[in-house]
Structure 1
Amino acid sequence: MAIYKDGEIVFAEAFGEKVKGEGEPVTPDTLFQLGSTTKMFTGVAALQLVEQGVISLDDKLVNVLPQIQYPGEQALDWQDIDIKHLLTHQSGLRDNSLDIDEPLVDFMKSIYPSQFSQMNPPGLFFNYSNPNWSYLGAVVEEFGQKDFADYVKQNVFEKLGMSRTSIGRSGATADGNYALGYQEQPDGNNGYVTDISQLPVSTVGHPAGTETWSTPTEQLKMADFLLNGNSNILDNSLRAQITEAQVSREFGGLPQNYGYGVFVADGFIQGDNWFPLKVWEHGGNTSAYTSEFFIFPEQNIAISIMSSGAFNDLRPSLVAAITAVGTLPSSIEEPVSSSEPTQYHKHEGTYSTGALTIIVSQEGNNLFFTIPEFESSNIPYERRIAPVGDRTFVAALNGEEIRLTFFPIQEGGESVYIRTRNDVAIRDGY
């Protein structure tokens, strides 16, 4: 963990072992993986091309990265994706695992579009999807005339003074001071990593955050840049746009937004508590690492916490850190918007993802859905979906809680889309 306050690192400590059971302690200089916290660096690299006039935020992806082999039946929607849609998770592109060791540009031009269909037209709503960032990385690689990892190291990390931060396996192995911890595997064969070769290797996922190595202290150099600027990296107008609310996350009416690679909100959640404190942040997870990066701009405080364990809950440490060096306001009830059953009829209808059919109906003051494919396969789910705000609900599907949000095409009209993190369902007839 490292803490920044008023332009200085006021705390930097490390806890635990580099490798479980081997006894060698980690230090503040030990490298960990960032995961999706990488996205803010990819965003800076893309905005550097905008500043240079090489591309613009309104440029279409298919024009700056020609020869993308998108499906013919989705041609118009693919042709409407622009650079800003990628930076703000509004492309409609389906999320998927990017632990793939293939040439980045080739994969994003041919293999990804042929295997993963677009879920909805771009520009409709925020839906977090890692391929947005792999496409941005491919654009950086194409126009930077060098490997994405090399471009970011030379034009972002080194200019920030992050000399030990790198993307890809070679930097960490050459450095030698890195931590290995607990890894979660898709097949459920989880366990402690004892050799770096046990970690998955990816190039396709690098821009989204599959293998960036850094330390909390070095991360806080990025915090200083976002707070104070550095014209050698990016002009102040573009730098400020990174932490502006570019698109709402549209969850329960909470004041949560996304900038360019950074979440921007008027508060944050810890447990059942909402703390009303302006924050810029991005977390990250890989199969064996967790990262939390928070900036509280009104108090000129930033905190970076990194661990060698998959999907660790680091929020209690975050709360302890802000309490130690700043002022944490009293928690309040989550400011979700009210849910009005008189408006539920707008959500009624039959929706399809292509694989699933979802029939939504109102019964009294509650909203229910039926999924015929689940019924025929005896997959358990709760028919009632619980409201969290005006258009957002929580569904219990096969033992998991799934957040879903209804979207109309015209404000106040009937709902046309149901968004979840992994899929989008579209109402029949649209």
Structure 2
Amino acid sequence: MKKLVFLFPVLSFFISCSTTPEAVVAPDHIKLVETNLSHPVYIKGDSTWTIEERMKHYGVPGVSIAVIKDYKIDWIKSYGIMDKESKSPVTDQTLFQAGSISKPVAAYGALTLVEQGKIDLDKDVNTYLQSWKLPDSEFTKEKKVALKHLLNHSGGLTVHGFLGYSPDLPVPTLVQVLNGESPANSGAIFVDKVPEKSFRYSGGGYTVMQQMMIDVAQESFPQLMSELVLQPLQMSNSTYDQPLQSEQLKMAATGYLPDGSTTKGKRHTYPEMAAAGLWTTAEDLAKFAVNIQQTLKGESKAALSQDMTTTMLTPFVEDFSGLGIFINKMEDEIYFGHGGWDEGFSSEMIAHKDKGYGVVILTNSNHPDFISELIRSVALSYSWDDFVPTYEKKEINADQLKEISGRYRLQNDNLIEIYHTNNQLFRKDLGAEPVALFKVSDSIYISRENNQPVQFTTEAESGQLNMLLIHPMKKTVESTLVLMKEGEKIPFEFLEEGNFEEGLKAYQEVMKTDANDPAVSENNLNRLGYRFMGIENLKLAQDIFKVNILLYPESFNVYDSYAEACMKIGDLDLAIENYKKSYSLNEKNTNALKMIEEIEQKKQNQVE
């Protein structure tokens, strides 16, 4: 690790660098970005990493960066390799899959059709759909799904995201994807929540939008997007072609999974183009972000009007989501952007709404933490307003360490342990690794990994010591955790100890006392199970899912989750049994049928 102010010479590892004609960048500015990678929270005096160190740490083969300053691209630079076999360097023209950043670009195209009078933001999407219709249901009786709901993830549509198709697999038509029909590897897209009531991320919604745009324009989606967005914004290296044509393939990076293995076939094909199908460069996406900034300022009329661009960035249903783009309010500053993840590719675009700076980062690996570190490096180096939380560490004495150490509970649902070793305070959340805590005021503590302040207070009358979790932006108390007495346990701890029967008994007792307790929420238990499955604690995850089955025996989803854990553990017969049970409770859960087929094939292969 290196100190923040220490600048390193450019290494041969850094493949290429270019700047726009409008700007000449001081070399030290680029070097600062290359040496300022940091934790989510910066404690003054902390060491930072170089980009080379973190690419090696995460196993990121290649990355391309475009930095925005003063409403224009300040510089573009590329690092590493686009393919491990050929060792070909990443250049500023290397094509990366943008993943879900495809969505805001596609949204821009849809809003252009709105301005052309071809689609109404507020009308029923079935007014425009011809090749396929969004099925009506009990959830659409009062309010129909409109384009604004698809753009905003508030339409109540199913299917979060898509896996894509390796070259050895047949690629489904768009209608087959919409219906969840073979050879599609995703479920049917339909409405199972009342529109405009809440946010739920849905790549499925963007796939419906894609079909609607095709039906309205009577053009292929790649051609339509080229005409509506890519050509007007001079995104000359970008395309929605899926798969790429032969000449384009020469410029395309190879994708690499989190374990470093190659994406099957080097890259997947995504017929769900609006949701995940954009191939692009950092420069082109930076042009997209700059256009939004300039249009909001009244300095561009390349495509969308100022009024429509303002609408795109206006919160709708939830304060963090506009029409196709996410809005991130940090103190008094407003940033907009979107992240992306395809198989073997991760990316991020973020820009300030009205101060003319931002960054685009594209990688050919799935390591979003690396991207976050690099974004913070740009923010620190360019002094972005209120982006990287920065604190100064204060001394803490032995008495204070002893006083606040202990186990704190939030009802029956959560547990945080505070302890100290060698005069360093640590915080350990349920199912997480310990993190160091630093005192930053008389009663406030912070970790490098999380910008949520922690405050310790003592109730005047009872003398009860509490731990308060503070909302980092609103500065209000989000949760109050109570210091636990010796021998106290929450239900989860019995499962963690391997005592399933006692754990189940404890959860059933909570359910009996208060069925609305978060500890026995079906969704909370499901998330908890997946949290432990994500860190390969499969037995604990399986036990959590089993508790959920016994608490909610009529829910199809609990059996689906339990079956997945059984499959990962290797109990294939039990997995099949529970996928069958899930499907019997909900025949729309076609994923269960696909998993049964996959497991049966796996069993057959084992016999052979």
Give yes or no for TM over 0.5.
yes
Question: Residue 280 of structure 2 aligns with which residue?
Answer: 214
Q: Which residue of 2 aligns with 1:417?
A: none
What is the Cα deviation at residue 107 of structure 1? 4.4
**Residue 63 (structure 1) aligns with:** 127
The Cα RMSD (Å) is: 3.7
**Compared with structure 1, are the counterparts of its residues 291 and 362 closer, same or farther at alpha carbon in structure 2 (3 Å cutoff)?**
farther
1:266 aligns with 2:322: no
> What displacement does 1:276 show?
6.1
Amino acid at match of 1:10: D
- Note if 1:178 corresponds to 2:242: no
Q: Deviations over 1:181-200 (max 9, x none)?
A: 3136xxxx97124x8x4422
Return the TM-score normalized by structure 1: 0.71
**Identity score, percent:** 20
Give the counterpart letter for 2:156 in structure 1. Answer: G
Q: Give the length in aligned residue pairs.
A: 349
Distance 2:154 2:367 in 1: 25
- In structure 2, how many angstroms separate the alpha carbons of the residues matched to 1:207 and 1:260? 14
User: What whole-Å deviation, never above 9, does each CA across 1:278-312 have from its counterpart, x for those lacking one?
Assistant: 21010000011001100013431020001000243
Superposed, which structure 2 residues align to 1:324-343 within 5 Å? 324-329=381-386, 331=389, 333=453, 334-335=472-473, 338-339=477-478
Q: Is the 8 A contact 2:290 2:356 kept in 1?
A: no
Match in the other structure for 2:103: 39
Equivalent residue runs for 1:285-364 within 5 Å: 285-313=341-369, 314-329=371-386, 331=389, 333=453, 334-335=472-473, 338-339=477-478
Establish whether residue 80 from structure 1 lines up as the match of residue 243 from structure 2.
no
Indicate the residue corresponding to 1:147 in structure 2.
220
CA contact (8 A) 1:36 1:284 kept: yes
The 3 A distance-change label for structure 1 pair 288 and 57 is same
Cα shift at 1:121: 1.4
Question: How far apart, CA to CA, are the structure 2 residues paired with 1:107 and 1:12?
Answer: 37
Tell me which of the two structures has the higher relative contact order, counting C-alpha pairs closer than 8 angstroms and 6 or more residues apart.
1
CA drift of 1:370 comes to 6.0
Q: Greater share of strand residues, 1 or 2?
A: 1
- Structural mapping, 1:7-46, within 5 Å: 7-46=71-110
Contact 1:361 1:369 in 2 (8 A): no
The reply on whether 1:199 has 2:274 as its aligned counterpart is no
Stretch moving more, 69-78 or 296-305: 69-78
Question: Using the alignment, how far apart are the partners of 1:278 and 1:35 within structure 2?
Answer: 23
Paired residue type of 1:368 = A
Aligned CA distance change for structure 1 residues 8 and 123 (closer, same or farther; 3 Å): closer
Matched-pair contact (CA < 8 Å) for 2:99–2:275: yes
Question: Which SS does the other structure have where 1:299 is aligned?
Answer: coil
Contact 1:77/1:122 (8 A) holds in 2: no
TM-superposed deviation, 1:147: 0.6
Pick closer, same or farther for the CA change 1:183–1:339 going to 2, 3 Å. closer
Partner of 1:235 in structure 2?
305
Post-superposition Cα deviations, 1:35-92, rounded to whole Å, max 9, x if no partner, equal: 0011111111111111111111111012211474555654745971111111110111
Contact 1:31/1:214 (<8 A) preserved: yes
Aligned partner of 1:216: which letter? A
User: What amino acid does structure 2 have at the position aligned with 1:307?
Assistant: T
Structure-2-length-normalised TM-score? 0.51
More helix as a share of residues: 2
For structure 2, which runs of at least 5 residues remain unmatched after alignment? 1-64, 166-170, 390-450, 454-471, 481-509, 530-539, 549-560, 566-588, 590-608
**2:201, 2:220 → 1: CA distance?**
25
CA distance in 1, matches of 2:72, 2:131: 47
Shift of 1:339: 4.6
- Return the alpha-carbon distance in structure 2 between the equivalents of residues 300 and 363 of structure 1: 51
How far residue 9 of structure 1 moved from its aligned partner, in angstroms, is 2.0
Is the 8 Å Cα contact of residues 108 and 304 (structure 2) preserved in structure 1?
yes
- The 1:172/1:32 distance shift into structure 2, 3 A limit, reads farther
Relative to structure 1, the CA distance from residue 360 to residue 296 in structure 2 (aligned partners, 3 Å threshold; closer, same or farther) is farther
Inter-partner Cα distance in structure 1 for 2:310 and 2:519: 43
Relative to structure 1, the CA distance from residue 363 to residue 297 in structure 2 (aligned partners, 3 Å threshold; closer, same or farther) is same
Q: Measure the CA separation in 2 of the matches of 1:106 and 1:231.
A: 38
What's the CA shift for 1:202? 2.3
Q: CA deviation at 1:157?
A: 0.5
Alpha-carbon separation, structure 2, partners of 1:78 and 1:106: 28
Quickly say closer, same or farther: Cα 1:71–1:145, change in 2 above 3 A: closer
The alignment partner of 1:86 has SS state of helix
- Distance in 2 (CA, whole Å) between partners of 1:228 and 1:150 is 25
Deviating more after overlay: 167-176 vs 68-77: 68-77
Moved more, 325-334 or 69-78: 69-78
Residue 3, structure 1, aligned to residue 67, structure 2: yes
